[in-house]
Each structure stands twice: as C-alpha cells, then as structure tokens.
Amino acid sequence: MKAVVHAGHGQVRVEDVADPRLSASTDAIVRVQRAAVCGTDLHVLAHPDALPRGFVLGHEFVGEVVERGDGVREHAIGDVVVGADYTACGRCWWCRRGDHWQCSDRRFFGTGSLFGPPLAGAQAELVRVPYADTVLVALPAGVDLDTAVFLGDTAATGFAALRRAGTEPGETVAILGGGPVGQVASLVAQAVGAGVVVVVEPVADRREIAAREGALAAAPDEARKVVDAATEGRGADVVVDAVGGERGLALAFDLVRRRGRVASVGVPGETVELPSARAFTDELAFSFAVGDLMRDAAPLLALVRAGVLDPSVVATEQVGLEEAVEAYRRMKDRLTLKTLIRP
C-alpha cells in the first residue's frame, strides 16, 4: 500500500509499504477514506528523536472496517468508523474512569515512540487499530466523512479543554491560537453555549476565519482590550491555550479574570514559569487537557448531528496521498490551515 512516511530532516515522502496485518484478536484493519495533516505531525517531524525514518505518519482518520480479529464485537466488516488518535485497552482502572490517555496500553498513531510504543499511522491506504472496540467509534448515517475525520483529535481536543475548564453557558471564553485546534475550540465553545468567544491569533487570515465562524478575533497586542470590552474589564472566565509554551501561558494568565480558569492543550516546553503568587491571590485554576474521542464521542456526535458543530470548516485544502509532500510544506509555511488527505 502507499503511505506518507518520515523521510528524515523534517521531511516526508510517499512510499509503498507493507499492508498492516492483524496481530491480536482485538485488532481491526480499516481502509482509510479520509486522513488529515495535523500540527502534531509537524511537531514530531521537527523533533524526530522518537520517529524512525520510514515510519508511517498520521493519527486522524475515518474509514471502513475491512478485517477484524475474533475478539472484535462492536464493529462488523463494512462498518464506517472514526478512530481516536491513540489507543487504550478499555478495561483498566483508568479506562473505566474515562481517562483513556492514562492507560498503560496507550499507543499514539503515527508519532513513533513519542507518546508510547510505536504504532504506524493513518496517512495510508490501510491502518491497523488495536483495541478496536474501544478506539473506533461507529459513524452514524448522515455524518459527512470530511467532518468525521476531525472528531478523533481536533474537535476532541477543543471539547476536552472546555470541559476541563468547566465552561458554563454564557461565559466569556478566550482562545489563544487560531490554528485548527483553536478554531475548532471556538466552534465547540459556541456550540455548548458560551457567550462571547475571542480568538487571539497573530495571522490575519486566521483571524478572518475565526470572525467568519462567529468569534471575535484579536491580534495578541489587542487581546486584553477586546476581552475587557466584552467583560467590563473583568477578564475572560475561561482561557484555552491552544499554543503552548511560556509565551502562550503568559498571555493566558494576562487575560483570565480573578477566580477564572485556564486550560492548556498546546504542547508545553520542558519547564514553564507560572505566576503562583497571583494564582493564589486570584484563586486561579490551571490545568492541561488531552482530547479523548473514546470518552466524548457521544456529545461530539450529538453536536454535529444537531448542526451546531462543523469542524470541517478548518479544512482549507484536499489532496490525494501522492500530493501529501507538498501539503506538508504548505502547512509548515502556514499557507493552509488544515489539509484533508483522500487516499
């Protein structure tokens, strides 16, 4: 089969690789109908110590079950499914709590050994899915494939951040970063009843997308002014950091109100300085969040089917597998927001 693989030096190429095979009774093989290029793909390519050359990339996918192990009970051959971006056993203490990211059997598709034992990715014609009954979610009739592919990571991540922050209807939400996760977090916030949503983004084209999709948009140096105007100077009730790193968190703490909440889904650096004295005095709550389709599929699909959430708006181009090399380059250069791959 053809697949997008790591070519070294931050590059990718399209190669013929061996078809995946079942290796456990709980595995399924999915024929990929849609995949996507994600900021996480760019991150692992830029920090490739855990990513061998020739490794198949990609962790967002939707497709058709074409083979399954004897232990798979929830999905039949021919079912159309969307995959979570990482695996979990579905049986351990963590999984029973809905904390699948903490499962000791976690393997993240297409990222080498960065987040657990390596598991070949989904920017390919076929992908092997361990623990298929847990990791795969049946796609209801009427849900478009271009929408469904973003549920496994992008939409799940935005939803997890807002849930972690305890977002309530009518609250003012500031979202740092107008990349795919930030844009979809804005859509999710609006779908679950937030009041004013402010997307803070330095790139003008991305601010235009956020404004078109119902948010207020602000450059970083204007953000405090915009948030103050919406909250009578209090600051945002909730800030979602979809950027990561010290600069993003510094702006998050600048925008949040007293007794407000900050949730970060951006990949952080090794160490980040936090304003602990102010956090204590202002009773701030700070947390990290990781998306979890296995836990949150039901509410996400309900929002999509109700017509109040369409994450496919972040897809600014569609390509075949053979065009993936150029698609990666365009995303790296911020010429596109999100790329759909149709194998």
For 89-129, what is each residue's pLDDT tens digit? Answer: 999 999 999 999 999 999 999 999 999 999 999 999 999 99
pLDDT at 267 over 90: no
Cβ atoms of residues 78 and 64 within 8 Å: yes
* Residue ranges of domains in the chain, CATH in brackets: 2-150+315-341 (3.90.180.10), 158-288 (3.40.50.720)
User: Percentage of the chain surpassing pLDDT 70?
Assistant: 99
pTM for the predicted model, two decimal places: 0.94
Q: What is the pLDDT of residues 220-236, one digit of tens each?
A: 999 999 999 999 999 99
Q: What is the pLDDT of residues 282-333, one digit of tens each?
A: 999 999 999 999 999 999 999 999 999 999 999 999 999 999 999 999 999 9
pLDDT at 214 over 80: yes
Mean pLDDT of 162-171: 96
The band of 203, judged by pLDDT with boundaries at 50, 70 and 90, is very high
Residue-level pLDDT at 246: 77
Cβ atoms of residues 53 and 7 within 8 Å: yes
Residue-level pLDDT at 293: 98
Please give the full DSSP string across 19-85, using - where no structure is assigned: PP---STT-EEEEEEEEEE-HHHHHHHHSGGG--TTPBP---EEEEEEEE-TT--S--TT-EEEE-S
| Mean pLDDT of the residues in the chain | 95
The rounded distance, in Å, linking the Cα atoms of 30 and 60 is 12
Residue-level pLDDT at 272: 72
In 3D space, the residue among 317, 316, 113, 47 whose CA is nearest the CA of residue 208 turns out to be: 316
Distances in whole angstroms, Cα of residue 278 to Cα of each of 227, 264, 285: 19, 18, 11
The band of 273, judged by pLDDT with boundaries at 50, 70 and 90, is confident
SS3 content of the chain, % helix, strand, coil (to 5): 35, 25, 40
pLDDT at 179 over 80: yes
Q: What is the pLDDT of residues 30-40, one digit of tens each?
A: 999 999 999 89
User: Percentage of the chain surpassing pLDDT 90?
Assistant: 91
Residue-level pLDDT at 334: 87
Residue-level pLDDT at 285: 96
pLDDT at 280 over 80: yes
Residue-level pLDDT at 269: 65
| Helices assigned H by DSSP within 199-323 | 204-212, 223-231, 245-255, 276-281, 293-305
The rounded distance, in Å, linking the Cα atoms of 155 and 148 is 9
**DSSP label at 217?**
E
